Amino acid sequence: MMIKFEDALDIVLNSIQFKLSTERTNINDSLGRILAEDVRSDINMPPFDKSAMDGFACRREDIDNELEIIEIIPAGKVPEKHIGKNQCAKIMTGAIVPEGADCVIMVEHTEITGDNTIRFIFDYTNNNICYVAEDIKKDDLVLQKGIEIKPQHIAVMASVGYTEPLVSKQPRIGIISTGDELVEPSEFPGKSQIRNSNGYQLIA
């Protein structure tokens, strides 16, 4: 009586006595490899309070007042000014929220009232801020050892500066196709023969 495939696989895997050694590889060459150690974040993510949208960073207590624009903050720039009473900074998505501000009002929810002033024209706004470490804290586990590295895992590794992943060395295997009926694909099979297609499928 034949045993089930799953049972046969368990027997083979449980009989393996060796462990694969490991090696460091470049992140660009790691696709499809098996990660051999846990990966933890080396930074908070986000690493700073950042704006979730284009708009104006201000103090919530002032949003019913006319606001003076004192600075423009694109993504990648460190704010230079502190937001005070009835002040705001024009801010882009992903930029650092300046000190003193506790919300970002969407640009679509404002109107220009002067050369350098705006007013909030909606009844309510969310904070619209992605706060420091709200996604991942420094030293948080981001990838677990034993996974097969896929494109999304490479993105995670890049985001935490893990550029030389430790992976299991690739095993060397041999495939032997047996049977008197088998001939190579380059040969024309005889009356009782077939070409060895399964062996080439396994190699691929």
Q: Domains for the chain: give ranges and CATH numbers.
A: 50-130 (2.170.190.11), 174-204 (no CATH)
Measured CA to CA, the distance from residue 156 to residue 127 in angstroms comes to: 27
Summarize pLDDT for 94-115 with one digit per residue, the tens: 999 999 999 999 999 999 999 9
What pLDDT, on the 0 to 100 scale, is given for residue 16?
Answer: 77
The residue type found at 40 is R
Q: Is the pLDDT of residue 17 over 80?
A: no
Q: Is the pLDDT of residue 187 over 80?
A: yes
Shortest CA distance to 172 belongs to which of 30, 27, 20, 23?
20
Measured CA to CA, the distance from residue 112 to residue 72 in angstroms comes to: 15
What pLDDT, on the 0 to 100 scale, is given for residue 116?
Answer: 95
Q: Taking residues 126-133, what's their average pLDDT?
A: 97
Output the pTM of the full model: 0.73
What pLDDT, on the 0 to 100 scale, is given for residue 43?
Answer: 97
Residue 67 has which token pair?
A: 């606001």
- Cα 35 vs. chain centroid, distance in angstroms? 15
Q: Which of 19-23, 37-41, 93-97 has the lowest mean pLDDT?
A: 19-23
